Chain A
């Protein structure tokens, strides 16, 4: 652990009635880093995000974010500390318009009184416009989010994530169900976000991970099997055994 680390996971163990979803997982993230996390099904990738965002409380271990422990904090408090999350399937508010979705994400402070009394600030409106341009949704401002295509929904959720201005972005399978072209665009978008933000991408689309060109952590059976660049892990015998060596479905 050192000062440039944004996030440290120390010996995280999560036990679901005896089943160890995570087993003494250790992981450190530097500020501005882009990190890919891969692993076979059931390796604990999503549980790993659940622990950071407060959805699941670890049975043992410690999560340190910006020098503060996150264990035991409520989800919304962790979000306000600067942890943003994009879910596996797009989780957007389908009955609200694209703009309203983004308003929810950029609004601060997030108190009822502020929301009911005041109209949205000008700089936040500008931010919404900027975000909509980035993700190519500017023409869909007033469309219901539910009417968007799958790829647009994914992007809207990424835009919502960025709008929250989190220090740490946790992105769970952002390219599931996207076309190749959309996948490439998403990879470029995530790469452009890192540097300023710290981004963790979970996926098992190898082409996509390769394109991210980042450090990769391989999860298996709830623990980190191996860490390094794509080339390093591809040569690692343990990784080949559990993951890469499998024939593709």
Chain B
């Protein structure tokens, strides 16, 4: 009974929204700017987690290369910020070029002078690249572990390329954004960071609704069908390649948006976004939060990252152990993640184990909803 799509209680949903909106409104006044900035970053990470949930939780595609699309979105945003803030530097191009003796802007930077182009590039470029990689992989019916390995290999290719190209995109140093200007304001300034926090919060909610729309109804059911029994979907007359390409592309686009938001709030984009551990962490957030729940992905991303920063402040060396332990715990004890566990009557079962709740004697469905009158 994995991945159940049981509906949440209405009250829970309502109270969740009230708390959420209150938190978003109150956050800038409640939190010091440092914490607010961290929260904004973690919220932006939850968008990439939503994408992971769509492809992994719903469609069964375990991608270990979402860092590619995340970083691409970040680079798009950073290139725009750098190039529009480079008027005082030699040749009117970003400062780092001078270090490597580059006098002419590389051609692919040119379109990033346009804010409109950048606005679309942030999500369309990652989506297109994801779509292309996805199509080639899915058309050749590569799946399961081979798909995961392939995505990780692609990640390494991108990492090495970005890491090595000083003259094109400043290589391993990455592109800084905090001292650049946006609409006449310093990107790293307190007021800008507050605005980015709002934008992020709005986009997380929009991305969540978008993802919910994607998985609701027949399209989402086909995705689940592909996850559970792809040949059966094929014999029913659907072409899984198209569906998988679309959803992988959507996840890529979400990763791009996420990467751009993360970049402007952390002040830099670098090939570190394309390291293997980071892409695996994204999967862990979703696994801990609950696969196939969407909300679990958001909560997983935010809470794990917040815990990471709190733990790292107190016990600097211990986070990796805690994260590893958390993952092992989830895989062994809560295979459907925390949210999946709650939805799947986990708390009730736990109380039963301690004798705090009456045991269900027959089939749960018979006792819980005997209004159905199942007396067959």
Contacts and interface: CB of A to CB of B under 8 A. Distances in A.
**Chains A and B are bound partners:** yes
B209 to A, nearest CB: 14
Interface of B: 1-5, 214, 217-219, 221-222, 224-225, 228-229, 231-240, 242-243, 246, 365, 372
A60 interface: no
Interface of A: 53, 55, 74-76, 79-80, 84-85, 87, 91-96, 100, 103-105, 107, 110-112, 115-116, 119-120, 139, 144, 146-147, 160, 164
Contact of B219 (A115, A139, A160): A115
A76 B234 contact: yes
23 contacts: A53-B235, A74-B234, A75-B234, A76-B237, A76-B239, A85-B235, A91-B231, A93-B229, A93-B232, A94-B228, A95-B2, A95-B224, A103-B221, A104-B221, A107-B218, A110-B238, A111-B242, A112-B219, A112-B242, A115-B217, A144-B1, A144-B4, A160-B236
Contacts of A115: 217-219, 222
A79 B235 contact: yes
Nearest to A166: B237
Contacts, number: 83
Nearest to B5: A95
B238 A96 contact: no
Tell me if B's interface is mostly helix, strand, loop or mixed.
helix
A96 B225 CA distance: 8
A116 B214 contact: yes
A121 to B, nearest CB: 11
A48 B143 CA distance: 26
A227 B269 CA distance: 72
B156 to A, nearest CB: 31
A104 B229 CA distance: 13
Contacts of A92: 232
A117 to B, nearest CB: 9
B131 to A, nearest CB: 13
Nearest to A85: B235
Nearest to B2: A95
A45 to B, nearest CB: 17
Given A107-B218, A116-B217, A79 B246 contact: no
Q: Which 6 A-B pairs have the closest CB atoms?
A: A79-B237, A116-B219, A75-B234, A115-B219, A115-B218, A76-B239
Contact of B239 (A74, A107, A144): A74
B186 to A, nearest CB: 42
A132 to B, nearest CB: 16
Contacts of B372: 139
Contacts of A94: 228
A80 B221 contact: no
Given A76-B238, A111-B242, 17 more contacts: A53-B235, A76-B240, A79-B236, A79-B237, A87-B232, A93-B225, A95-B3, A100-B218, A100-B221, A107-B218, A110-B238, A110-B239, A112-B222, A115-B217, A139-B372, A144-B4, A164-B236
A104 B222 contact: yes
B7 to A, nearest CB: 11
A49 to B, nearest CB: 10
A105 B236 contact: yes
B231 A55 contact: yes
Contacts of A112: 219, 222, 242-243, 246
Contacts of B237: 76, 79-80, 110, 164
B57 to A, nearest CB: 12
Most buried by B among A53, A85, A105, A110: A110
B228 A95 contact: yes
Contacts of B217: 115-116, 119
A116 B219 CA distance: 5
B219 A96 contact: no
Nearest to B246: A112
A92 B229 CA distance: 8
Contacts of B222: 104, 112, 115
A93 B218 contact: no
